[in-house]
Copies of this chain bind each other. A is one copy, B any other.
Amino acid sequence: MSTPANEPAARLKRRRRLPEEARREALASARRLLIEAGPKAVTLNAVGKQIGVTHATLIHHFGSAAGLQSALMGSMIADLTDALAETAVQLRSDAGAPRALTDSVFDAAGPGGAGRLAAWIALSGDLEHLEPIRAAVIHVVDAIQEKFSDAGEGARDRVAAAVLFMALCAFGDAIIGGPLRGMLGRDEDSAREIVAGLLPTFLA
C-alpha cells in the first residue's frame, strides 16, 4: 500500500569517465575481487557493481569478459615484473643482503596478489600470460650475478638455481603458506627467514 508497485529503481546520476580511468577502476576492482573472493567472483556484474557501472559498459571497454580477465592478468603481471625490475635495480645499486633480496621476491609474489594470480593462470592453462615474466626473471638473475659472483665459472648456474628456489618458496608461501605455517606452528615470516638463511649456500 504505502510502497508503490513499481519504484523506478532509484537510478543515480550518470558519471562519465575517461576510458583510461574507467579501465583503471575496473581492473583495480577486479583485482580486489580476485584476491578476496577467488577467481569465480571476478564477474562483469560484480566488477561493475563495485565501480558503479553496468556490465554492458565493461564489455564496451574490454570487448568481452575474457578481455577483462586478460587485461587483469596483464596488469598484475606488469606489476610483478615492475617489482622484479625494482629488485634488480636495488641489487645493482647497494644493499644485496640475503634478507632484503628475499623480501623483495616475497613482496612481489604475496601482498599484491601476483602469486595467487599466477596460480590462477597456471590452473586455467593460459600459460601465454606468464610469458612477460620471463624477461623480468632473467633481469633479476643478471643483477644478482653481477652483485654476488665473485666466484667464477658455474656462477650463473648457481644464481639461476637460487632464483628458482626463492621464487618457488615465495609463490608457494603466497598460495598455501598461511594454512601450512599454521599446521607447523610457525609464524608469519618464517618462510622468509628460512629462505634468507639458505641463500648464502648458493652464492659462496
Contacts and interface: CB of A to CB of B under 8 A. Distances in A.
Given A38-B123, A198-B201, 11 more contacts: A40-B124, A127-B179, A130-B179, A164-B186, A165-B169, A165-B194, A165-B198, A167-B172, A167-B180, A169-B169, A172-B175
A117 B177 CA distance: 15
Interface string A135-161: 001100100000000000000000011
A173 B179 contact: no
- Copies of this protein in the complex: 2
B160 A186 contact: yes
Given A185-B160, A194-B164, A123 B175 contact: yes
The size class of the interface chain A forms with chain B is: 35 or more
B164 A191 contact: yes
21 contacts: A39-B124, A118-B176, A119-B119, A119-B176, A122-B175, A123-B175, A127-B179, A130-B179, A137-B184, A160-B185, A161-B190, A163-B184, A164-B180, A164-B191, A165-B198, A167-B180, A168-B172, A168-B173, A168-B177, A172-B172, A201-B201
Interface of A: 37-40, 116, 118-120, 122-125, 127, 130, 133-134, 137-138, 141, 160-161, 163-165, 167-173, 175-181, 183-186, 190-191, 194-195, 198, 201
